[in-house]
Chain A
């Protein structure tokens, strides 16, 4: 395989990875800080796309749609956390209940979206400024894909800065380590958890809006992501932000090159990778502590 093919597949794998990262980062954040396995994360992606679609129908401005989609998803996320998720914290078998409750929300939100907007396929056009593509050597790269990669990196940088350099960020990290202690120190832990949940679901919604011009807006779009984003989070390590990035990169590139070398197996490759990681290092590639009891 010559360098051009390699480069082309590498770059395409990168753009796949970035979008996957944006979705999975929210998932891993929720797990790390709020300790919730948000099975319904794909539904916030879905909400993001539909809010943006509705906004574009009214105002035809992609950037406003981006904002509204993300914030809208975040608000719905916070509402769900306050009204529903909070009630099951601390229960015996909490994990199962989280799974069931978030599963219930997938079912509910999917139908709500279908009821409001109908079952037809819809799309959101790319903003004019991001149409077209340019050549990187012999490799053609669509401008929009580069935009996604840039946004992904910005999110990473911002999150790193926030979590390590700011006080609030440190509080957030503390709450993932020891919720009870933090509460005893006087921090309003429930509020932090709600905020983090909101931010994470907003990221899911943001991913939805960013992806929408490349894909179809349709009920059922959220469910497809659940398994893929879970794989990324599992590979990278639950609760580990950088792990989500690494996991997404691995999956994106494995798929990209798998298509060239083993086209028949491409679809099962992700599971195989996940299982290998889980056998070799069950807590995820970048997680530091060994797996403890939940």
Chain B
């Protein structure tokens, strides 16, 4: 995370560091205080779950520089494991089932990561797409097991969370915040710095004696785990899951949310999740040509705001050294 040094004033610096967290809490807790109605709480619940998905994805994308076009796989696996366990064994151990779902996603990601990370660039992207589509196809096909195209409906919530979406929102908020905090710490740890460097200049990392592949795999698995948590949370929100959660547009959404919000920042994907979900909501209400509108927004973001909403201050100034270096490496 690029931060300007504020002279030697450490308290101000600390506030600046934690400012995004303050805004985060103000928004997501504030919405409960304002209480604009069930529908909007439900909307923000979706935003926060998607935020976790996008932030987990961004660990791989914005931080490590790996464009995975198959992240829906982990999101969907988390959702399906959680959903099927809850349907089979009841919702008393809901939290445990979410963790199991995420663990399942992480487990799957070990194999996928081992295979896909051998490649770079577009080959990596295509292979992640291939695996996600295979998983989607299997979920469709194994309909006796997964319900196939009908999806799985009426997934019960634990008794303490039933009755209005507010309780589930608070539950999701707590889980998401814990996960986000963990991801935040990971990003700011030495491991996170290594990932950053891998994105900028992989050769240098090798010269420093560290293994690019191993670190990428670690990031891959961590990213998959938290994407799985998001999926599991979503399964409980509406009690309804469907193979579409593994379909490539869901993977595309992750890239979109991270890019719109700012892939170079930690909270960028949260902003992106909010913008995309809000956009779908508004545009869907007023026109049937929502495809066109979203397409235009994406185009504008790609052309004019490549660093996303939270990276806006970068479009005017000159590219900083990091970016110049990255371009040289990328184009060689």
B interface footprint on A123-136 (CB within 8 Å = 1, 0 otherwise): 00000000000000
Chain A residue at minimal CB-CB distance from B301: A100
Docked-complex contact A271 and B122, CB < 8 angstroms: no
Residues of B within 8 A of A112 (CB): 292
B211 adjacent to chain A (CB < 8 Å): no
B96 adjacent to chain A (CB < 8 Å): no
Stretch of A12-20, A89-97, A151-159 that contacts chain B: A89-97
Residues of B within 8 A of A227 (CB): 129, 133, 248
CA distance A87 to B303 in the complex (A): 7
B121 adjacent to chain A (CB < 8 Å): yes
Docked-complex contact A278 and B122, CB < 8 angstroms: no
Docked-complex contact A99 and B67, CB < 8 angstroms: yes
Interface of chain A residues 260 through 280 with chain B (CB within 8 A): 264-265, 267-268, 271-272, 274-275, 278-279
Stretch of A3-11, A51-59, A191-199, A230-238 that contacts chain B: A230-238
CA distance A205 to B298 in the complex (A): 24
- The 8 Å CB contact of B292, one of A108, A231, A275, A282, is A108
Does more than half of chain B's interface fall in helix, strand or loop, or is it mixed?
helix
Docked-complex contact B121 and A268, CB < 8 angstroms: no
Given contacts A91-B327, A92-B327, A104-B299, contact A291 B133 (CB under 8 A): no
Does more than half of chain A's interface fall in helix, strand or loop, or is it mixed?
helix
- Say how far B138's CB is from chain A's closest CB, in angstroms: 6
Docked-complex contact B141 and A111, CB < 8 angstroms: no
Residues of B within 8 A of A230 (CB): 126, 129
Residues of A within 8 A of B149 (CB): none
Docked-complex contact A291 and B291, CB < 8 angstroms: no
Docked-complex contact A278 and B127, CB < 8 angstroms: yes
A interface footprint on B236-265 (CB within 8 Å = 1, 0 otherwise): 000000000000100010011001000100
Residues of A within 8 A of B17 (CB): none
Place the interface of chain A in its size category: 35 or more
Docked-complex contact B134 and A275, CB < 8 angstroms: yes
Residues of B within 8 A of A92 (CB): 323, 326-327, 330
Residues of B within 8 A of A291 (CB): 119-121, 123
Docked-complex contact A108 and B295, CB < 8 angstroms: yes
- The 8 Å CB contact of A99, one of B125, B134, B289, is B125
Docked-complex contact B298 and A103, CB < 8 angstroms: yes
CA distance A84 to B303 in the complex (A): 8
Place the interface of chain B in its size category: 35 or more
Residues of A within 8 A of B291 (CB): 107-108, 110-111
B interface footprint on A58-98 (CB within 8 Å = 1, 0 otherwise): 00000000000000000000000000100110111111110
- The 8 Å CB contact of B122, one of A31, A87, A90, A91, is A31
Given contacts A91-B306, A91-B327, A95-B125, contact A100 B130 (CB under 8 A): no
CA distance A84 to B329 in the complex (A): 23
B14 adjacent to chain A (CB < 8 Å): no
A283 adjacent to chain B (CB < 8 Å): yes
Docked-complex contact B69 and A99, CB < 8 angstroms: yes
7 pairs of residues in contact across A and B, judged by CB atoms under 8 Å: A101-B298, A103-B295, A108-B299, A115-B292, A230-B129, A275-B131, A282-B123
* Partner-A contacts on B (CB < 8 A): 61, 65, 67, 69, 115, 118-123, 125-127, 129-131, 133-134, 137-138, 140-141, 202, 248, 252, 255-256, 259, 263, 289, 291-292, 294-296, 298-299, 301-303, 306, 323, 326-327, 329-332
Q: Which 3 A-B pairs have the closest CB atoms?
A: A294-B121, A107-B295, A111-B292
